[in-house]
Amino acid sequence: MTMPFAEYPHYDATALAGLIRKGEVSAADVLESAVLQAERLNPALNAIITPLYDHARLQLHRADKNAPFYGVPFLLKDLLSQLEGTPYSAGSRALQGYISRHTTTLVQRFEQSGLLIMGKTNTPELGLMGTTEPKAFGATHNPWRQGYSTGGSSGGSAAAVAAGIVPLASGGDGGGSIRIPASACGLFGLKPSRARTPCGPDYGEAWDGAAVEHVITRSVRDSAAILDLSNGMDGGAAHPVGHTHYSSSLENPVRKLRIALCTNSPLGTPVNKHVVHALQQTAQLLKELGHEVEEACPEIRGADIARAYLHMYFGHMAADLTHIGKMVGKPWHKLPVELTTHTLARFGFALSAGDYVLMKHTWNQLARAMARFHQQYDLYLTPVMATLPLPHGSFEHSWLDNLSMHLVNALHLHGLALKTSIIEDMAYKSLEKLPFTQLANLTGQPAMSVPLFCSHDNLPIGSQLIAPMGDELTLLQLARQLEEACPWAQRLPAVR
């Protein structure tokens, strides 16, 4: 039986797997429907940078037909997640031509669940930017509006899911990189707790534990089901995290929650009025569902978040470029990377180990402050982004910033700059459009973006909810309640 092409994009992964399991449609027909969708839509989106259609066709015959997601088409974000024998770029020209020599643990779990990997998605270079516009592969377009950003760094995955190419795709979140694209593209995005999903064999902790991988989905049940199959430590993991099940509790009513609402940017920078209005609508909906919502913000300084986060960038860009240089056999400073990436690495090499460790103490201070806050509030409600989805180029540095980076690099002034206000200025400029998501990465808490409302001109706006460390279940149960009260799957983007 051939599945009607028009119907394929309207099913989530759970429904597609059910149709295949019942024999109502063949897995081969589902995969070919996904390939047709990709060939039709990707030229306009630039979401998929490495098609792996033949790999998926071969995988279809090797996969366990009893696996829970057997036959469901899937895409990998081309960062952190590696698949042996396929190109791996991390969004950078520096890795052009590199072929992965192994499959990472999480990808193995995706494959074991029956998902068919049919391609890899676009990402900013090394996941650094909150928009998916890498020089190596070009910009990914938002399905809701051509020429607009999908957010980053999982922007290619979000665009493909929103457009209906696949029902879900992998993502990684080191500073909002699942939640920001989910918000920009009208999808559900959950960042699990630190170490909830494995990052082996390459890392014990990705970005010192700030980064964690999961998926971007259209439905809450798909996110919960994939987390059921993928969570839990692997051999040699840095943290002893046990395997946990979520789907079985998803239908249980969520308890009455006390939720703190804060729409103010932690940096004191502007927040778009449509974003504020959407958060107020979310708060009202939560009240109507029986929860208690009041305005309150934790006792944390946005400047501490920004500086700690930027210093993490410095250290890891120095380490990452050194590692990439070894992978491709080049000195790090001769790698063809973007100016921002190169400059951040230079700052990393100028940063002392002692200063990095001192800045890492800030992470713990933030985590302790949030633990105190959650003694009073079950969840913390904020925007995901301070803006609506923006046109491409909105995250480009000014000519003056580019000139400054060139001068600092040429004159080797990175050590001196670390002692001035330049770093704080960089942090504010970098994060003013996206100031809300980095907190949960530094503290390790689970957080989600829920696509409840849109702007007056139909651009998606996500609402972020942050839970105490380890409490994904409350987030998922509440998300399910919100999904039933305000269904979002019926809102379709222009490109589909």
Which residues are known catalytic residues?
Answer: 77, 153, 177
Helix, coil or strand: residue 57: helix
Helix, coil or strand: residue 345: helix
CA separation for the pair 198, 194 (Å, rounded): 10
Backbone angles phi, psi at 116, to 5 degrees: -105, 115
CA separation for the pair 189, 159 (Å, rounded): 13
Helix, coil or strand: residue 58: helix
Sheet holding 212-217, edge to edge: 48-51, 116-121, 73-77, 168-173, 212-217, 188-191, 447-454, 460-466, 379-383, 258-261, 292-295
Residue 428 structure tokens? 């504010």
List Cα–Cα distances, 202 to 79, 234, 238, 407, 485, in angstroms.
12, 12, 12, 35, 41
Backbone angles phi, psi at 312, to 5 degrees: -65, -45
Residue 151 structure tokens? 């957010």
List Cα–Cα distances, 258 to 24, 32, 192, 293, in angstroms.
44, 46, 21, 6
CB contact at 8 A, 154 and 168: no
Q: List beta partners, residue 447.
A: 191, 466
Backbone angles phi, psi at 99, to 5 degrees: -115, 130
DSSP at 351: S
CA–CA–CA angle 244, 249, 250 (5° rounding): 110
CA separation for the pair 363, 210 (Å, rounded): 10
Q: List beta partners, residue 367.
A: none
Q: Which of 223, 246, 231 is nearest to 195 (CA)?
A: 231
Q: Amino acid identity, residue 102?
A: H
Quickly tell me which residue has 């630190």 as its tokens. 194
